[in-house]
Amino acid sequence: QKEVEQNSGPLSVPEGAIASLNCTYSDRGSQSFFWYRQYSGKSPELIMSIYSNGDKEDGRFTAQLNKASQYVSLLIRDSQPSDSATYLCAVIASKIIFGSGTRLSIRP
């Protein structure tokens, strides 16, 4: 089992809809969770950080954390073509581990 797992996609979502990206992790001691967006040929860009159970909202983005179930998710409301990218989940326990990323495609 990978330490941080993400569905590789591609996840295709119509413009204007909600995109839901999921990430599961194996280390119960994990305390810090991050979502990054990476456009093709570019470096990762931090979108959200979340440290406590529950939801955290920032504009069109909502991160959700459930430590009991060991998952963290990212919701993108009103999806735009510019949201088409690979989304990376990062989890920190004793070390920093990135998931392999989910490719998101927003179709017009």
Partner 1 sequence: KAGVTQTPRYLIKTRGQQVTLSCSPISGHRSVSWYQQTPGQGLQFLFEYFSETQRNKGNFPGRFSGRQFSNSRSEMNVSTLELGDSALYLCASSRGLAGVGNEQFFGPGTRLTVL
Closest CA to 32 of 7, 6, 1, 4: 4
Q: Which residues pair with 88 in a beta bridge?
A: 36
Residue type, 96: I
Least gap, CB of 87 to partner 1 (angstroms): 12
- Among left, alpha and beta (phi > 0; psi -120 to 50; other), residue 8 is alpha
- Measured from the CB atom, the residue of 51 and 81 that comes closer to partner 1 is 51
Only segment of 15-23, 26-34, 56-64, 77-85 that touches partner 1 (CB under 8 A): 26-34
- Measured from the CB atom, the residue of 42 and 107 that comes closer to partner 1 is 42
Q: Are strands 54-58 and 19-25 parallel, antiparallel or unpaired?
A: unpaired
Least gap, CB of 49 to partner 1 (angstroms): 5
Interface residues with partner 1 (CB under 8 A)? 31-32, 34, 36, 42-46, 49, 51, 88, 92, 94-101
